[in-house]
Structures are given as C-alpha cells and as structure tokens.
Amino acid sequence: MKSGQKRTVIENVRPEINAGAYAAKRVAGQVFQVTADILADGHDVLNAHIKYKLKKSKTWSHAPMHEADNNGWEGQFIAEKQGYYIYTIEAWVDYPLTWQHNIERKIDDQQHVNVELLDGIQYLEKAAKLAPHETDYLNGLIDAFKNPEAYNYAIGEACSTRLHDIFHHHPTKEFATTYERELVLEVDREKALFSTWYEFFPRSTAKKKGEHGTFKDCLEVLPYVANMGFDTLYFPPIHPIGTDHRKGKNNTTTALPGDVGVPWAIGNKEGGHKDILPELGNFDDFKKLVKVAGELGIEIALDFALQCSPNHPYVKENPSWFKWRPDGTVQYAENPPKKYQDIYPIYFESPDWENMWDEFVSIVLHWNRLGIKIFRVDNPHTKPFGFWEYLIAEVKKVDQDVLFLAEAFTKPKVMQRLAKVGFTQSYTYYTWRNNKAELTQYMNELTKTDLKDYFRPNFWPNTPDINPWMLQGGNENLYIIRHMMAATLSSNYGMYGPVYEQIDNAAYVGKEEYLNSEKYEVRVWDWSKTNKLKQLISRINHIRKEHPALQFTNNIEFCPIENEQILAYFKQSEDKTDNMLFIVNLDPYNRQNGWVKVPRYKMGLSEGKPMRMRDLVTGNSYMWNQEWNFIELDPNHVPYHIFHIDF
C-alpha cells in the first residue's frame, strides 16, 4: 500500500508511449522535455524534478521542473549520449518553501512572526546538512531567528531570494512520490533526425545502352550526388536476382532473353541476401564504393527486403520458412493491388521461427560489418511487429549507430506501431498531401500530437513505386514546389533520381507507375544534364546543411495568409538564433499574392522593429517592420521564398 503520508499525485506524463511499453526518441545533444500534471490537496508549495540516467548506469541525475500553468509542470534535460535512458518524475510537498511562502504573506500583512521564525529553524537545520557550502549563512540565520533583537534582519532573510534558492536547490523531499513507471528514451545519432536521401539503381549507371552498370560505374556518379547536397545514398537490393517467374519490362509476367528482372526478387544459384549480384561487382568493389562515398560525406543505405525468389537458397535449405500448398507450390507474394509472381513471401509462423529470426538478424549484421549503418526496410508492415522489435534490438546491441527506415505505405496505426517497435524513420503520406488544408492538417498531426515523440517522418515526392498523379503532367514548376516542401517541411527527406530531377514523368496508363520503370529494366542516364529544378534542389540541400532551423521537423508553425494557394510556415532553431520563414505558391500556373502574418513574438520582436528578410535562393532582401506583410510569387520565376530573418 502507498504510504498515506505521500500527498502528491503525478499523472498525464508526456512523453509516455503506450503506458511506457515503448521508448520516446531523440538524438544525441537534443533537448528532451517532459511534462506532467502534479497536484496535491491544500495550498502547500509543490516541487518536482525529472530523474534520469543511462540504462546501464546506477546513478540518477536530476533536472528541475517548474509549474508552467494550472498544475501543469515541465522540465527538460539534454540527452548527451547515444543509447537508452530511463526517466521518471519525483514530486513532493516542499515544506521549507511552504513555510517561506506563508511567512512572507504574514510579514506583508504586518503580522508579528516570532513563532513562525522559530518554526522555520527545523528547515534551516536540514538545509545546512544538504548545502554545506551555505552552513555559515544558515547557522547565522538560526541564531537570528532565536534572537528577538535581530528580528528585522531575521524577517528580511526569511523572505530572501538567497534562502529561497537554497531551499529550492537542496530539497528535503519528505514523503516524495515517484511516478509509477520508469519510462524509456532512445537516443540515436544525429542522422536519425536530419538526413537527405538520394536513390538510384546501381545497374543504371553504365554509359552505353545494353550495358549493365557496376559499382565501379557508381563511383563516377558519387560526385554528382555529393554536389547536389545529398548525404545518404540508398540502393535498391544489390543481390542475385531470381530466374523463375522473372518479370519482364513494364511488369510483364513473361521475361524475354536479356531481361534483368526485379531486384526485389532476391536469390538464385549464385546466392541470396548476403551476396552481391555478379553483374554489379564483388565485395572489394562494394567496400571501395562505401569508402569513397564516406570520403564525400555520403553514407550508403541498403534495401532490406525479407522475401525470396523461387530460386533463393533458403527455399531448399529451409523449406519450413515458406507456406506450401497441397500441390507443392508456394503462393506468390501480394500487396494488393500489386502482385509479385516472382517472389515467395516468408512464412513467419514457421515452427522454425527462432532460427529464422536469428538468420535474418545475421543478414543485417553481415552488411553492417561491411560498413552499412542504414537500412531501408521493404514492406515491414507485412511482417510481424514482434519480429521487428527483436531484430532491431539485437542489431542495436552490436551497433547503436544503425538506423532503419520503414517503407510502409499503409494504415496510420500500423505505421505508428512500426515506429514504436524500433524503426528510426518512416515513409509518409506526403506524396498524396497536395493542397493547403491537407498539408497543414498532416503536418500538425505529425508534429503537434504524441507522434512527435516517436514517429520521425521522411518525405519523398516520388519513389520507384510511385509516380504521383500530380507529377505525371511533367510541369517543372510543380516538381520544384513538391521538392521544396518535402525538403523544408521535414528534416528527413529523399527523392528517387535521376528520374525526379530530369522530370522523367512518363506514366503507365491509369496507374501511379513509371513507364519503362527501372524496377524491370536497365536505363541509361545523362548525368551531365542540368535544368532549373536540379539547380534549386542543390541550393535547397545546401541551405538545409547551413541552417539548424531546417534540421528539425517538430519546430514548424504555420502562418496565416488569406490565400488558399499559398502556404506559409515558420521554423526556429532550438537556441532561437536561426529564424526562417517559408512561403510557397501551390499553384504551378498562376501568380499568387497575399498578406502573411509573421510570428514576431517567437523572436521577441516588438511591433515596428525592422526585420531583414533575406531570400536564400534568389539573394534578394526586404525590410519588414510590421506583423502583416505583402508577398507575391510567380511560379515561372521561383514559386517560393526561403527567408532567413535577421534583426
């Protein structure tokens, strides 16, 4: 039974994910704020702090909390190291501060407080033990409290800020209540919060039609990726590709001689998930590619697709990992409306599931030993949550730096569960959020609800699987708009190129699919090609690196503007030194204008104080000194402003 002497109540603690079952998420060096409702009977002064420690540590640290509103308390600490932290809240009735508060009121009311001074001696004695550096001062107060001739000095010091601070910083914590749960905070490396992804097919890097690209060819493309400002290069699967039921061009179910198949149909006689497609090169070539990319500031991310072609070695070596039908066949994989005739799904209810799980963990660790620390996971929503929780935890025991991106375009709660069980980042619905209302609602959902504490979005305007309806017309202005919003709304974003920057918009009729998709064939690209879109992509990526305000997602605030074709939003760095305003014309065809309200209060600016609005794309500057300011955007010039605010 809880002690009847404990009067404080702690409830509505945030973040608290699924009653503490899952971890909140931050990156090393990031501020972690905790809030709670803390209350007690009566009118006594309350106090509280956050208790926190690294999971393996035996020693607790403490961060003070304060009352921000009606019984709503908040506090924060900096998660300095990677790993797992434990945190909880401790609260108590602060009897020394209650005594000080009450005696102040009586003194203000000109009451005589001799008895109250004597009553306060017990708190001075306890404080002297807790704050030995203040012992002389406190012992002097004890003498003064006892001496009627020192009354005026005593009442002055009884109300002093110095005494208040001693009591506050050295609490007695009598009858303290500790929150009923110890909660978990997972702290990742910085790239979990801020990353800029580029995807291309390694096999499409050859210079001549009919040739298969190699890792050596990829070396020549790396400077292109680096110069555009990308720091993460994601490859579709690089493993041997199945031959049975191989897909032909444009997803035909019959492959012709020379058809290369789909990289996600993994495995043949040459190997499986731990092997490299011979046409791409060997392990030495791969290791060199990883090394050279790193020298250019690029991390290689690999696709982790848990599925097999009918020719995968697992099919013969571990037949119980697949669900066999009475006719001796395995039903091919489906993700409605898509059908994958060239792929066998894994049977996760196999009686041999424990060995299977460990084998899949070993795949990730195999590539991790070769320098890979980022995995884009294909369709994780079609595999059990418990499996992912196990795999991610086992991998992080070996290397805490490993990050996992969930490629799951599915129901919101399923995507959220994947984030809870350990996925670092997630693909999102950004691709289908187009108008002002949709974008505003979606961003507020991601950044103003509990999702902000565990779900890190990664915005992609396109993928090899998604040629969005709105981009199929090939309007360059629209490509420019969609890229800009992906890169400035979310601190993590990516794009599939060179399809995107070269506006390769041809679509398969009636579908959000690319015609002549690289999923089914090798393409040859002119990597020297340039255009306005490519130049703006590069400029924005470099702006992202230079401005901390763009390295967070949850710091967004939308700004009022009375035009449904214009979206405006403000971002500010944690230390409030980097202030940015983004205004984008959502109409790719017409000039739009309106009056935008700048949140001057966020910057501590009074009305009339001038702001220098410096457009980081065009180089133009404007002086604004009011809350409401007029803007006009021509989509045929640059359809947006990216303002840095100086004052």
In whole angstroms, give the CA distance from residue 602 to residue 178.
35
Distance of alpha carbon 17 from the chain centroid? 16
Query: What is the phi-psi region of residue 36: left when phi exceeds 0, alpha when psi lies from -120 to 50, beta otherwise?
Result: beta
Residue type, 335: N
Kindly list the distances between the CA atom of residue 8 and the CA atoms of 94, 100, 180, in Å, as whole numbers in the listed order.
10, 19, 12
Take residue 35 and report the two structure tokens written for it.
Answer: 């809030």
- Taking a C-beta distance cutoff of 8 angstroms, is the pair 14, 32 a contact? no
Q: Active site includes 407?
A: yes
Give yes or no for a cis peptide into 64 (omega within 30° of 0).
no
Per annotation, catalytic residue among 116, 199, 231, 407: 407
Q: Which residues pair with 51 in a beta bridge?
A: 62, 88
Least Cα distance to 563 among 581, 599, 587 occurs for 587
SS (H, E, C) 78-90: EECCCEEEEEEEE
112: CB partners within 8 A, 6+ apart:
none
Q: CA–CA distance from 240 to each of 262, 400, 576 (Å)? A: 10, 29, 50
Main-chain phi, psi angles of 333, to 5 degrees: -75, 150
Q: Which helix (H) or strand (E) holds 376?
A: strand 374-378
- Across the strands, what pairs with 155? none
Coil, helix or strand at residue 426: strand
Q: What are the φ/ψ torsions at residue 514 (nearest 5 degrees)?
A: -80, 135
Catalytic residue among 16, 231, 378, 501: 378
CA distance 310 to 69: 62
* Two tokens, residue 338: 């898509």
Match 């304060």 to its residue by tokens. 66
Residues with Cβ < 8 Å from 402, sequence gap 6 or more? 364, 368, 373, 374, 375, 395, 396
- Could you tell me the CA-to-CA distances from 524 to 51, 140, 498, 513 in Å, in that order? 57, 85, 10, 19
Distance CA 66, CA 83 (A): 27
**Tokens matching residue 435:** 């108008």
Quickly count: other Cβ atoms within 10 Å of residue 613's Cβ.
21
CA distances from 631 to 535, 594, 634, 645 (A): 24, 6, 10, 15
Amino acid at 424: T
- Give 39: exposed, middle or buried? Use CB within 10 Å, 0-12, 13-18, 19+: middle
Q: What is the DSSP string of 305-354?
A: --EE-TT-HHHHH-GGGS-B-TTS-BPPEEETTEEETT-EEP-TT-TTHH
Active-site residue set:
378, 407
